[in-house]
Structure 1
Amino acid sequence: MRYIQGEDRSQGTLFPVSLDELIPEDHLVRVIEAYISLLDLEQLGFDKAVPKATGRPSYHPADLLKLYLYGYFQQVRSSRRLEAECQRNVEVMWLLGRLAPDFKTIADFRRDNSAAFVATCRAFVSFCRGAGLIGGDLIAIDGSKFQAVASNRKHITPKKLQRREAVLDKRIAHYLAQLDEADRGEQEQAIDRSAVQTALETLRVKKANNQTCQALMQAQGLVQHVVGEADAQKMRTPSGSRIAYNVQSAVDAKHCLIVHHEVTQEGADNRLLEPMAQATQAVLEQAKLNVTADAGYSNGAQFQACEDAGITPFVPPNRAINTKGGEEQFFDRTLFNYSEESDSYECPNGKTLTLKALNKGDRVYHASISDCGTCALKSRCTKAERRYVTRHAHESAFERMEQRMKANPDMMINRRSIVEHPFGNLKQWAFGNARFLLRQLKGTRTEMALAIQAYNLKRTINVLGVPKLMELMG
């Protein structure tokens, strides 16, 4: 039986195949070409968008932008790998017209156009809004930790520096003891004094540097620092503590498109609800907005700030409960009824708790000692002389939130289906479960803008299809 045979490599053809014939009509690179042609690169802030009249001609920023978008679409983020793609990949040859910039030109373009990449990402969101792909009815907010370039070994704290200094002191003391023993003639073998002196000098320099670091951290009020990447922070991740950045995303419920994102240094999410919601509100240009997030965003002050800005949040309140005493379970604070008119609480036994003090904005109420002393329910309420109840400074915002969540029991299920899908795609598809390639907030924001731009483009192709999307771009 004969096999399927390929073409003879040495066979000439009268009409050679053109690059355009090798690329299908519904291919990704045609979408990238059409989209980039719509952009005003000068207005977006790209360097060299206007060519100089003299000097050596540069590559057009549109060509390098096409290359990076294609690269992040195909999980090729390295400038050296992109250089290789220009020389071997037919799709990239079609996209760039057989241009083959070197890796440094490619890397410099990404480094020098950070703000322009972010603006391009926003421009695509604006395009999607005009195409009716963004509903704006419900926005889901979530955060995820992306590992930085720096490793855990570059992370220092005052305690680590103190422990390191103690180790250096022991090593210095050991060498000094060797010299003392040699001077007294107690060494069985002669030691190399010059080698010991050199080692001592090295250790003393390390100790001096260590003490300088401690002094600088104390003067600047730093509790942690990452050598070589000061913007990064050590954060808790599902796989343990890592040097990372906290990437926030706001995803529209209609087609799971990311309408806004931010790379932050916050280790936790509980102070990011209102900033993310307000930024998303500005992007969508809506006076009213509904947002949902998980319990990690629970914060009374953030709830109140959102409501004041016309934003309705849906977040499970994360409240502390009354602790157990042995096998006993004391009455929870929710069993105490608050009266706004009298600004007091009524306990389960009908006694009144009046305002005692203000503590950092929280209001502390207590019952009278006589009422608690004669109360038949005291053993179920407190072991102290009297019962105290603290009312949060934004308790009313927490209460409104609880009511909203009870009225919308499926909100958390909807949240998961909206916002967790994009982050899963970004980590697995765009980043390949790898770390950032660029350092500091400027670099990581550049990379994340490119990755999210690629994700939104891919999502739009899946929703509309290439012909319809090309029609809208045309």
Structure 2
Amino acid sequence: MSNFRPIDRQTGFLLPPSVDEWLPEKHLARFVVEVIDGLDLSVMRGSYRGSGSASYPPSLLLGILVYGYATGVFSSRKLERASYDSVAFRFIAANQHPDHDTIAAFRRRFLQEIEGLFVQVLEVAREMGVLKMGTMALDGTKIHANASRHSALSYEHAGKIEAQLKAEVAELLAKAEAADRSDLPDGLSIPDELARREERLAKLAEARAKIEARAKERFEREQADHEARLAARDAKAAATGRKPRGKPPQPPVEGPLPTDQINLTDEQSRIMPVAGGGFEQCYNAQAVVAAGSLLVVAADVVQAPNDKRQLAPMLDKLAALPEDLGKPETLLADTGYFSAPNVETCQTAGIAPLIALGREAHHPSLSERFAEAPSAPDDATAVEAMAHRLKTLEGRKLYAQRKHTPEPVFGIIKSVLGFRQFLLRGLDKVRGEWNLVTMAWNLKRMFVLSPAG
């Protein structure tokens, strides 16, 4: 006699099924729905006209997106398919099936509003008791743009192609004047060839103009930095009464460089060095992460591959958070964020900085790890005071939290969830998408930290 369970796919339900019975009581999908239902979505709801066919509620579409990003499903087509195939997505969608165009349009439309929801989620985390704004860690990670580096065009190469196209246009015009139609090669249409080249020339001119505008902005920024360094050099010479050592700083070069590039697919992305070597078309995603909870409390995306200029803007984002979330006390950051102005900016904001002054050697000896810190210098500058604190046992213990605060968050988002490339294009849109990614991460993390998780 067989001892297998019977299989019956034909008998219908005796009573109508309830989506509430499809999931366990403790499930991330239930948590996402519960939190989103408690958010203020009045701005989203108010933007609908209320005419025409009935729309899907913003809470339903937002729930699909957030749960998708929290579980590694980002594509609108895959999200639509999941509303049929996945029990969790069926629960969030209340057994409805928004098509991929609806999901994609909702994501593009409300990117700016999602930033406000990001803060609301942090307030929920605070009420749950899982967010403590004490020690914060700042870091950045390169995320691929929705564009290939092979679509990048340099200023020098654009000039060569432009010259080649102009020569071809002149040649085609000469053929049109000198040759009889019967003498032309089969399949050659001079008007079509001319139109194609004129279109390419227009796009090249537009690309070169944008590169030139970027070069002008860069020159103005570098010129201001150059003048500031010269002024500091002259002030030091006046204070000491001695001629400064070394050569004076070189002035910046005006105009675009031959290697300046623009990407024809996503012109606001940039070529950046990536982990493991090489260069890719990327954006630099920034995040401030709370130690202990690993919740992201501030996020941004920038075009600069270097992190040194990102500390002050991220502090501004922290300052803009509601006071009831609490106040950051200590900021941890690697050497990529170190500069004397950055240290002073932290102190002005009332936050104690712990920023590495340089790369530390791996596997220090016991004597180095537990050596007593030297006495604090008298009348120490902000950098000297921070350097002394980094040498103390308390400072080393605090700074050690940096490696296991933002880096695991980036690692899980990129390697576990699989978010390694933005779906959207343009700086404003990828900023909104990064807010969506980090908000989804926060909800996933809050579910794990909550008593019901």
Instruction: Give TM-score scaled by structure 2 length.
Output: 0.74
1:147-200 per-position Cα deviation (integer Å, ceiling 9, x unaligned): 111111222231232344466589889x79x98xx99xxxxxx98499496798
Alignment of 1:210 onto 2:210: no
**2:230 maps to which residue?**
none
Q: Which residue of 1 aligns with 2:401?
A: 414
Separation in 2, partners of 1:105, 1:304 = 48
Matches within 5 A, 1:135-284: 135-165=132-162, 192=185, 195=188, 201=194, 206=200, 209-211=203-205, 213-219=207-213, 221=215, 223-238=260-275, 239-283=277-321
CA pair 210-73 structure 1, distance change in 2 beyond 3 A: closer
State the alpha-carbon separation in 1 of the partners of residues 390 and 109 from structure 2. Answer: 46
Cα pair 1:249 1:258 within 8 Å, conserved: yes
Bigger RCO of structures 1 and 2 (CA < 8 A, at least 6 apart): 2
- Distance across 1 between alignment mates of 2:16 and 2:214: 67
Alignment-mate amino acid for residue 329 of structure 2: L
Q: CA RMSD of the aligned region, Å?
A: 3.3
- The CA deviation string for residues 249-297 of structure 1, in whole angstroms up to 9 with x for no partner, is 1011121111111111221101111221332243263566210100011
CA drift at 1:314: 0.6
Equivalent residue number for residue 324 of structure 1: none
> Is the 2:143–2:284 Cα contact (8 Å) retained in structure 1?
yes
Change (3 A) 1:204 1:271: same
Correspondence 1:286-325 to 2 at 5 A = 289-318=329-358
- Whole-Å separation in 2 of the counterparts to 1:17 and 1:130: 35
Amino acid at match of 1:9: R
Change (3 A) 1:215 1:26: closer
CA shift in 2, pair 1:63/1:205, >3 Å: closer
Residue of structure 1 equivalent to 2:104: 107
Unaligned runs of 5+ in 2: 217-259, 360-376
**Structure 1: where are the runs of 5+ without partners?**
184-189, 320-337, 341-394, 468-474
TM-score normalised by the chain length of structure 1: 0.71
1:438 to 413, 424, 429: 424
Distance 2:112 2:187 in 1: 55
- Separation in structure 1 between the aligned mates of residue 209 and residue 125 of structure 2, nearest angstrom: 51
Q: 1:230 to 1:191 in 2, by over 3 A?
A: closer
Structure 2 letter corresponding to 1:221: A
8 Å contact 1:67–1:82 — kept in the other structure? yes
Task: Give aligned-pair identity as a percent.
Answer: 30
Which residue of structure 1 lines up, in the alignment, with residue 364 of structure 2?
Answer: none
Which residue does the alignment assign to 1:454? 440
CA deviation profile, 1:25-78 (whole Å, cap 9, x unmatched): 112222122112211211xx31446773x4432211111111112211221111
The answer to whether the 8 A contact 2:139-2:406 is kept is: yes
The alignment covers a number of residue pairs equal to: 381
Amino acid of the residue matched to residue 256 of structure 1? L
2:255 is matched with: none
